Chains A and B, each alone.
Chain A
Amino acid sequence: MSSQKQQITNEGLSLTRRGFINAAMGVAGVGAAALTLGLSPDWRRIVLDGASRWNDRAQGMLFSPEKLAPTYSADDITTPFPFNAFYPEAYVPKIDPMHWQLSLGDNIKHKKPLTLSELRDMEQESHITRLICIEGWSAIGEWSGVRLANVLSLIGADMNAPYLRLDCEDGYFTSIDMASAMHPQTLLALDFLGKPLSRSFGAPLRLRIPVKLGFKNAKFVTKLSVHYSFQGGYWEDQGYNWFAGL
């Protein structure tokens, strides 16, 4: 054994012609692929879009409707709670709660819009959960409101449709998969920290969905609709991953 090692140590290396040609083709192949992705925005988009769709599918398979997001105690609540939107805080819409209505669109049986008092009269529940932003930061807050699943069954939404879309007063919109919409912690929130939502945080109604990233938690919601075709969203159409599950 030791003599063999000695022998190995003293031996030089060489490239066989065929080995070298194969290897050079391999290096050229990997290099060409990397260069194509680096230089061609079109190819980059095709590859990255494909990977994002694949990530949507993988997350849909991984999602378990029974798994609950961790809940926290009142002491853990983050103060002040960070504001975030696609515009500065001064531009948040001002909605008159007396005239606000939740419009109901496609694939919903009872189209009569819901009023705030109708939603307030439904069974309320409250969760202290962590909101995780796609930027990386997270903050803990307490949201209360109506379970989205209860609203969807009340209005006769078609639960076989894969997508629920939310449209908002400020032009924002997003869409989520039906399984996450039916999750027991997914709320149409009316209150934050025990008080009606403030103007900055989505008054009078927002989505609070602890099984998804922050940007899925649409504020100033004005319309619900249910779809069989992919709906995307404000950020999703600019490249954020659609499923965005946690």
Chain B
Amino acid sequence: MTKAAIDNRSTTMRRTIHCGWLRLLHALNAIAVLGLMSSGWAIYNADPYYGFVFSVSISLGGYLTDALRWHLALAWLFSVTALLFLSLRLFNSIGGPRLRPVSGPGFFADVWSAVRGRLTHRLGEYNQVQRVVYSGVIVLFSVAMLSGLALWKPVQLLGLSEFFGGYEWSRRVHFWAMGGIALFVVVHLFMVALTPRTVLTMILGAEKNGNRIVETEECLVKSNK
């Protein structure tokens, strides 16, 4: 098929919202994030500094030794999937709809509709809540990853460790990044629950319109940069 023909088809037919690679990346990243959080809880339990501990039943690995093994294995899976995801967005302009602009009134209007269960979720376009939440999670993931690196290598990556205020502060920052990500997971799942069809697009790869898709077509709706 010629390129012109593909272009022609893509304007007249709708595309897959999320191609297979993107959905696989999302699934692996989600597994990594959940595993990192729950193994992190067991690691925190080995020396709790906030006066509480997490239940062993929700901690991957249960205790320090296995939790650390999981944590440092999944850190690689997380890094690879998150960086791939981010570079898809940054350099290829695919990987998701636009994250901007965001306005205060627009955001709160969308929050209000979300609370009433009336938030419009256009496929291929983010509403204001999504823009804020997905921008926020990029920041949270970055902080979690960098503070994690600072904890892992406080000597070899001394500059990074000092950026977070040294070893003990890196621990706190890493913990709070986890807290932020946990909040993201809750909000994200809540928003998914409001629009169940997003499950079809992100997990099962549903297509708009029901038309058969030409394999060579692009991964996602291009962001209109």
Contact = CB atoms under 8 A, between A and B. Distances in A.
A30 B72 contact: no
Interface in A22-76: 22-24, 26-27, 30, 34, 47-48, 51-52, 54-55, 59, 62-64, 67-70
Interface in B1-50: 14, 16, 20, 23-24, 27-28, 31, 43-44, 46-47, 49
What secondary structure prevails in chain A residues at the interface with B?
Answer: mixed
Interface stretch (A10-18, A171-179, A200-208): A10-18
A34 B204 CA distance: 18
Give the interface residue-count category, chain B. Answer: 35 or more
B145 to A, nearest CB: 15
B73 interface: yes
A230 interface: no
A207 to B, nearest CB: 16
Give the interface residue-count category, chain A. Answer: 35 or more
Contacts of A16: 207, 210, 212-213
Interface stretch (B109-117, B154-162, B179-187): B154-162
Contacts of B43: 136
B68 interface: yes
B66 interface: yes
Nearest to A240: B65
Interface of B: 14, 16, 20, 23-24, 27-28, 31, 43-44, 46-47, 49, 64-66, 68-70, 72-73, 76, 120, 122-125, 153-156, 158, 166-168, 171, 197, 200-201, 203-210, 212-213
23 contacts: A8-B123, A12-B209, A15-B206, A18-B212, A19-B206, A20-B204, A22-B20, A22-B205, A30-B24, A30-B28, A54-B76, A55-B72, A62-B153, A68-B155, A132-B167, A133-B47, A134-B46, A135-B47, A136-B47, A211-B155, A238-B65, A239-B66, A246-B153
